[in-house]
Amino acid sequence: MEEHSHLAKAALFDAISEVAAALAAGRRAEIIDVLAQGERMVEQVAQELQQSVANTSHHLRALHRAGLVSRRRQGARVLYRLAGPEVEELWVSLRDVAAALRADFARLASAYLGELDALEVVSRRELLQLQAAGQVTIIDVRPREEYLQGHVSGALSVPLSELHRFPLPEGRPLVAYCRGPYCAFAPAAVRQLRSRGLAARRLEEGFPEWRRAGLPVALGDEAGAGPPT
């Protein structure tokens, strides 16, 4: 009986460690961050990671075996998504622990995101107030596919790669947001907008945090969204 209990306990803790092991690669953590924005095809994930489709498929299979992502077929395509909100919470907890305990984390984040101190942050509460008063234009600078799967209600879809040719209203403050606190799109957008003489700030954190806070979210396209053709 005691031996059975010991084996059962070992199996239980092995199952837990297998979930952790599935995330023991930077590219897999990056995949979780991408899929937190919405469902994506293997090829789209590979493009985001700048990795081969074969290598990306290998990582996705490992995450699927651990139960962290689910997949479905749509014709000849295979689409992946997070298996549940618990996976996103795990990812948030993991990055928060890394930020709190790794002495070099701030340096690593700064090397990727650039200097953020000069880029004023807008809180979620302040953005809601500005939006209600009609005193702000909100822009979602993530890829278009992510915007369509969910975005801050009322935001325009202006992917960072298209920001330079998008006619934005002058005289009205702009707030840009992207995937989260370690996404470089919004900081880059704010720097670009300021170089054009526009008043721009970035939203604290990003869209997943906005959604988890239970704030207004819209799906699909909205009137006026997207760059002109």
DSSP 62-76: HHHHTTSEEEEEETT
Active site residue 178: yes
Under DSSP, the state recorded for 36 is T
- Find the catalytic residue in 178, 188, 190, 225: 178
Decide if 39 contacts 81 (C-beta within 8 A): yes
Helix/strand/coil (H/E/C) assignment for every residue in 184-227: CHHHHHHHHHHHCCCCEEEECCCHHHHHHCCCCEECCCCCCCCC
Structure tokens at 203: 């939203």
Rg of the chain's alpha carbons, rounded to an integer?
A: 20
Give the residue numbers marked as catalytic: 178
